[in-house]
Structure 1
Amino acid sequence: MVLFGSVINALGIILGTIIGLLLRKIPEQMKQTVMTAIGLSVVVLGLDMAMKSSDFFFVIVSLVIGTVTGEWLKLEDHLHGLGNMLEKKIGKSPTGNIAQGFVTATLIFVVGAMAIIGALDSGLRQDHSVLLTKSMIDGFTSMVLASTLGIGVLFSAIPVFLYQGGIALFANVIHQFLSDSLLEHLIAELTATGGVLIIAIGINILGIKQIRVANFLPSIVIITIIVLIQYNFS
C-alpha cells in the first residue's frame, strides 16, 4: 500500500496531539531529555542515509546549488510568512491558539527531508521505514507541542497526509517511466542528499545550531536533475 506510511504518520500526529492535550503538564526536564534522544536518533538516521551515495561529489554540488537557490527564493522566510498569515485568519480555542498550533506543527512536520525522502521510498520501493520513523518522531513532537499550543496541532495531520501522500502517489507513477538502474541510482542519491538535510534537522532539534533547513530543499530537485543528466550522457 503506497499510502501506508503517510496514513500512519497522520495517525501518529493525531494520537500524539490527543495525548498531549490530556497531559498538558509534562515535566519540562522530561521534554528536553526525550527531545535530545530524538535529535540524536535523527542525526544517526541522517548519517546512515548520507552514506548511500555512490558519488558524494554530486551530492555536495546539489546541496550548494540548492541552498543558494533556497536562499535566493527565501523559502524559509516565505514559509514563516505563510504561517503568520494563517495565524491572523484563524480564530482561537479554549485549549490554545489554533493558528499557532497548526502552523507551527505543519512547518515542523512538512518542512523537512524525511517527508520527501520517506514519501519517495513509500512510492518507489514500498519501503515505509523512513515515514514510520518520522511517525514516531512526529507523534512525540505533536504531544509536546499540543501540551503548550493546544488542539491546533492536530489539524497539521491533514497537510502532512496530503503532502506526503501526493509525493508517494506521484513517485509510484514515474516508476513506469524510469529504468530499474536509473531508479536505483536516483533513489541512492536522493537518499544521500536527504540524509544531509535530516542531519541538519537533528542538529536543530538538539539546539546545537539553528539551520535554515527549508532553504536546503531545492537540493532535492537539483540532485534529481544531475542524476538524469549524468545517466543520459554516460
Structure 2
Amino acid sequence: MILLGALVNGIGVSVGTLLGSLLRRIPDSMKDTVMNIMGLAIIVLGIQMGLKTENFLIVILSLAIGAIIGELFALEDKINRLGGWLEKKVGSSKQGSISQGFITGTLIFVVGAMGIIGALDSGMRGNHDVLYTKAIIDAVLAAILTTTLGIGVLFSAIPVILYEGSIAIFATQIDSFIPQALMNHFIGEITATGGIMIIAIGSNLIGITKIKVANLLPALVVTALLVSIVHSFNLHF
C-alpha cells in the first residue's frame, strides 16, 4: 500500500498529541522550560538541514521570492483564520492555541528531508521504513508541542498525510521523467530552504523573533523551480 507510511506518520502525530494533552497539567514553569528547550533543539535541527545546500544562493533567492509571494497572499493570516474557525468548533478556551499549534506542528512535521525521502521511498520502492521512523520522532515532538501549544497540533496530522501521500503517489512515476541527479539536487536544496524555516520556528518558540513562517511556504515551490532551471541550463553561480 503506497500510502501506508504517510498514514502511519499521521497516526503518530495524532497519538503523540493525545498523549501530550494528558500531560498539560504540569506546572507553567516546566512548560516554559520545555518550550525553550524545544525551540533550541528545533534551531539545531534547522541548522543541520540548512547546511545540506550545495548552492546557498538558491536558498536565499527562494526564501526572498517565497516571502514576497506569501506576504502578497497573506498566507499566515489565512491559516490563522482557519485556526480560529477550528478553535470555535472545538471550543478551545485558550485564544490562539489552535492556530499556533496547527501552524507550528504543520511546519515542523511537513518540512524536512525525512518526509520527502520517506515518501519517495514509499512510492518508488514500497519501503515505508523511513516514514515509520519519522512517525516515532513526530509522535514525541507532538506530545511535547501539545503541552505548550495545545490541541491544535492534532490538526497538523492532516497536511502531513496529504503532503507525504501526494509525494508517494507522484513518486510512482517520478523516475520515468526526472533524472536522479536533478532529484538529489532538489532534495538537498529544499531541505536547506526548509531548514531556514525550521530555524525561524525555533526562534519564534523561544521568543527571539516573530517571523510569519507560514508566509515563507511558497519558498519550497520556488526552490523546486530554481533547481530545475539551474539543472536544465547547467548554470553555475
TM-score over 0.5 for the pair: yes
Q: 1:11 to 1:58 in 2, by over 3 A?
A: same
Give CA deviations for 1:200-219 in whole Å, capped at 9, x if unaligned.
Answer: 11111111111100011111
Alignment map for 1:69-84 (pairs within 5 Å): 69-84=69-84
Q: 1:231 to 1:40 in 2, by over 3 A?
A: same
State which drifts further: 1-10 or 188-197: 1-10
Are the counterparts in 1 of residues 3 and 165 from structure 2 also a CA contact under 8 Å? yes
Are the counterparts in 2 of residues 2 and 122 from structure 1 also a CA contact under 8 Å? no
Are the counterparts in 1 of residues 21 and 147 from structure 2 also a CA contact under 8 Å? yes
Alignment map for 1:81-230 (pairs within 5 Å): 81-88=81-88, 90=89, 92=91, 96=92, 103-110=99-106, 112=107, 114-117=109-112, 118-125=114-121, 127-128=130-131, 132-146=136-150, 154=154, 156-171=156-171, 173-230=173-230
Give CA deviations for 1:34-78 in whole Å, capped at 9, x if unaligned.
Answer: 121111111111111111111101111111111111111111111
Give CA deviations for 1:111-161 in whole Å, capped at 9, x if unaligned.
Answer: x16403342121235644666544322221124445xx5xx7645534443
TM-score, normalization: structure 1?
Answer: 0.81
Query: Helix, strand or coil: the match of 1:54?
Result: coil
Are the counterparts in 2 of residues 120 and 171 from structure 1 also a CA contact under 8 Å? no
Q: Which runs of 5 or more residues in structure 1 are unaligned?
A: none
1: distance between equivalents of 2:155 and 2:57? Answer: 40
Could you tell me the percent identity over the aligned residues? 40
Query: Helix, strand or coil: the match of 1:157?
Result: helix
2: distance between equivalents of 1:196 and 1:51? Answer: 10
Q: 1:104 to 1:225 in 2, by over 3 A?
A: same
2: distance between equivalents of 1:202 and 1:5? Answer: 27
1: distance between equivalents of 2:168 and 2:95? Answer: 27
Are the counterparts in 1 of residues 119 and 167 from structure 2 also a CA contact under 8 Å? yes
TM-score, normalization: structure 2?
Answer: 0.80
Q: 1:73 to 1:158 in 2, by over 3 A?
A: closer
User: Deviation of residue 5 (structure 1)?
Assistant: 5.7
Q: 1:145 to 1:68 in 2, by over 3 A?
A: closer
